[in-house]
Structure 1
């Protein structure tokens, strides 16, 4: 029973299982790639994850807070071996003690005044020792100093901190406003500094392999399963070739250059049907092919012209002409190939093609004869006689028919003769061709024509190379070629198909 067109072939249970498996692995690979991108960029973007604030235009000091993002730095710092720096952490802890004491006893208390002096000392030590250098954040200290200078209106950051925490300044200001300034502008900068340990090899501590290893084991298992499926489908293939077929999955297994995993992940998502990359691939391939086609055609054209030019300039040109003799090249059966080619084509043209053109040839020759009769044989006054024009037409038709039939009979007889094995005819034809090439080579050797002909042909080929290359470069660019290709494709798709009988 014929299956209706609207009912597709239902995949088997095994096929559905493997499709689900491939899609699951592709999804896991995409998750792993997203984690790899996060892991690689975590240290450079740690300030963002710590402060959860986006600075789209740093020069304008424009900040976009993202409070809905979780603070992942306490958990992920340990994976990267990151710890709070002792100096900057002590700086923050000192201000927290000052803040707590001021809230309990007041900012003018003697104990709080002592804590303010210790905070000034901490600030001076921070500026002198610059602990931000170890984490590559020297610019953060400059930003901290600039904010202190701008707040106090002074040129020295040390004096600015002493002024902002002094009795005279705080007696005129609200401590809550000053506390918010320190908590919002100064302490977050100090919190961005960190210390990162090193392992026994002198490399920065990175425990990301502990997260990546389970993924790599799963990917290795999937590669083995895919190789087994390929081996089962094609039993003749070796295990080595089956494994090499999955060379694109190599970035999934290596611990370095992990961003290259975007290649196998994209391939898996595409083959499993989760994403559609065929339009993008078609656009890219069309551009590449168009560019390569133009370059390749230029190279091939130039190479052919150079080869022809070298042959023409060669002093052994007469010798090369002699090699065209039929006795220098024969077919496998030992028969001259030129004679064999003529024996195949001449009967085809004279016996089959020529007679098929009889109506057209009769009409053509009859028209030519009638025009000649009108112009040469009859004077102008006689053409007005009744019946003379019909006589001219019948005469020209009779003559053209007889002439064409005679020629076709002659060609048919000649074709029959040529189609038969005639050793004498073949030998005469071969001797004629050989004699022609021999005489041509001899005259070129003995006369002054060879050198002048070589010069003229070489100049002609040089001009041809220049004009052809310039013409190729003046042709439409790649975008226009691709547009034309799209137009051809779309026009062929839009053309309605013929109805089936």
Structure 2
């Protein structure tokens, strides 16, 4: 089916190019135009066709009766009149080939050396001129330079619907019916495999094949043809598909990220504007819209866990480092004292300094650790600490709730969030989302490569065991 689709696409592209490139096909593949002209409703234009028939009659008359006969004279007069009519009526306009007529006029003017195309044709089709210049030579010029341009003109018939006749659909109909049947059969099996799918969902599974059913814009068939050739591994489109997907995802990622961030900032600004900051400071749970699902202050609980872990597990492990730091600090402080510098010169003072610093640092660290352990394990100390923190928060909240301070804080927060929103969106727009996606893909590849290597190693080991 992929090969058939590709052949059909080539036929479609040829049909689309036929009318614009008919002159090329007419000059290089004349038998092709004889076969395909009826498909597009094209037939020779009667005026230009009659002109060439009169020229052929002239040649036959000269061969039979000579150039100076009365029959030849009458035929030359007919050609003069037909030349003037061709220039004035422009039979090439209906086929959008007025440029061809201009070529004919320019070539005849250049050949005769007259600025008037009508006069140039009158001179060319005269017994005096043809006798003087040699009829064989002049008719050869006409056959090489003028006749092919006149013969390329055509008339395209118009149907009763007011559009140009185009019978291509008759030749395309069997292909459309074939791919329609293929789409129905494939959708049927997809629907059987996925019972929850509707017929529409099953058809959309291969949405690109539906393009074959569109009577217009047949050039869009390049999409299903590309998909089919890629699936049949006749065309490598992985890189192109990755670039297209990356571009689409990058656009969506940028838009969605902007929407989410701006929405969060707007919601925060709206909360500040509605006075949620004031209600939060007042700790009024009756009017607070914040939902508590477990009646636990999570921040307080997390802080307690962190403090206990720090006091009981972390500090004992880092006690040697703390002692070394304190000892260094004590030594530095003693060395800066003028009195100690004078005593340092006495025998034994250096060793005594080291012992003193070591003992003092150890005592400070041990006592500090014991104090922290006692504070954590002592319920009275914990209650006093909690009361201190609570009182500090209440006092700070009462002070902030003063109208002047609260208004100033709300205004500054609102402006700060607005600045964040503007600067973030601007920075996000300047960032290359495709670079971010490329980095993500590289990270995925780095993760997948070791997995593949490990899997291959396992297979090799299993083969060895066998």
TM over 0.5: yes
1:164-203 equivalences in 2 (<5 Å): 164-203=124-163
Paired with 2:9 and 2:199, the residues of 1 have a C-alpha distance of 28
**217, 234, 254: which one aligns with 2:214:** 254
Match of 1:10 in 2: none
CA offset digits 1:217-250 (Å, max 9, x no partner):
2222332343345345545544442222112222
Corresponding position: 1:230 with 2:230: no
Distance 1:450 1:291, change over 3 A: same
1:208 aligns with 2:184: no
Identify the residue that residue 462 of structure 2 maps to in structure 1.
Answer: none
Does 1:453 pair with 2:413?
A: no
Residue in 2 that maps onto 1:40: 16
* Residues 260-288 of structure 1: per-residue CA shift (max 9 Å, x gap): 11222222222322222222344455556
Q: 1:75 aligns with which of 25, 35, 46?
A: 35
Local SS of the residue matching 2:340: coil
**What CA distance in whole angstroms lies between the structure 1 residues aligned with 2:31 and 2:374?**
100
Q: CA deviation at 1:331?
A: 4.3
Among 357, 382, 388, which residue is 2:349 paired with? 388
CA deviation string 1:192-215 (max 9, x = no partner): 222222333222211111221121
- For these two proteins, the number of residue pairs brought into alignment is 450
CA–CA separation in structure 1 for the residues paired with 2:385 and 2:291: 16
Q: Distance in 1 between matches of 2:364 and 2:39?
A: 101
Tell me the SS of whatever aligns to 1:44.
coil
Quick one: distance in 1 between partners of 2:49 and 2:337?
120
- In 2: Cα distance, 1:216 partner to 1:410 partner: 87
- Show the counterpart of 1:443: 399
Residues 22-74 of structure 1: CA deviation (Å, up to 9, x unaligned): xxx2222122112111112211221121123xxxxxxxxxxxxxxxx564111
2:361 matches 1:397? no
Change (3 A) 1:217 1:426: farther
Question: Partners of 1:327 and 1:121 in 2: how far apart?
Answer: 100
**1:195 aligned counterpart, secondary structure:** strand
1:5-24 mapped onto 2 (5 Å cutoff): none
1:134 aligns with 2:94: yes
Query: 1:331, 1:337 within 8 Å by CA — same for their partners in 2?
Result: no
Q: Secondary structure at the match of 1:256?
A: coil
Q: Give the match's secondary structure for 1:186.
A: helix
Displacement of 1:370 in angstroms is 2.8
Preserved CA contact (<8 Å) 1:286 1:482 = no
Classify 1:139/1:330 alpha carbon distance in 2 versus 1 (closer, same or farther; 3 Å): closer
Does the CA-based 8 Å contact 1:319-1:441 persist in structure 2?
Answer: no
Offset at residue 128 of structure 1 (A): 3.5
Q: Secondary structure at the match of 1:83?
A: strand
Q: Is the 8 A contact 1:322 1:437 kept in 2?
A: no
Aligned-residue CA RMSD (Å): 4.1
Residues 315, 327 of structure 1: CA spacing in aligned structure 2 closer, same or farther, 3 A cutoff?
closer
Note if contact 2:67-2:127 (Cα within 8 Å) is conserved in structure 1: no
Counterparts of residues 66-105 of structure 1 (less than 5 Å): 69=29, 71-105=31-65
Residue aligning to 1:61: none
What displacement does 1:156 show? 3.1
Unaligned segments of structure 1, at least 5 residues = 1-24, 53-68
1:32–1:215 Cα contact (<8 Å) kept = yes
Q: Report the CA distance shift for 1:390/1:38 in structure 2 as closer, same or farther (over 3 A).
A: farther
Distance in 1 between residues matched to 2:104 and 2:363, nearest whole Å:
112
SS in 1 for 2:155: strand
1:145 correspondence with 2:92: no
Alignment of 1:488-499 (within 5 A): 489=442
In 2, the alpha carbon distance for the partners of 1:414 and 1:327 equals 36
**1:251 partner SS:** helix
Q: Cα–Cα, structure 1 residues 283 and 211, in superposed 2: closer, same or farther, change >3 Å?
A: same
Q: Does 1:271 align with 2:247?
A: no
- Superposition deviation, residue 308 in structure 1: 4.4
Q: C-alpha offsets along residues 129-150 of structure 1, whole Å, 9 cap, x if unaligned?
A: 3322322333333332233222
Match of 1:369 in 2: 330
Give, in angstroms, the shift of residue 164 of structure 1.
Answer: 0.3
Q: Which residue pairs with 2:314 in the alignment?
A: 353
Partner of 2:7: 31
Hey, what's the Cα distance between the residues in 2 that align with 1:453 and 1:318?
A: 11
Distance 1:78 1:386 in 2: 123
SS for the counterpart of 2:336 is: helix
Q: Say which SS state the counterpart of residue 161 (structure 2) adopts.
A: coil
Q: Distance in 2 between matches of 1:235 and 1:300?
A: 36
Inter-partner Cα distance in structure 1 for 2:277 and 2:262: 21
1:435 to partner: Cα distance: 5.9
Structure 1 residues 246 and 335, CA gap change in structure 2 (3 angstroms)? same
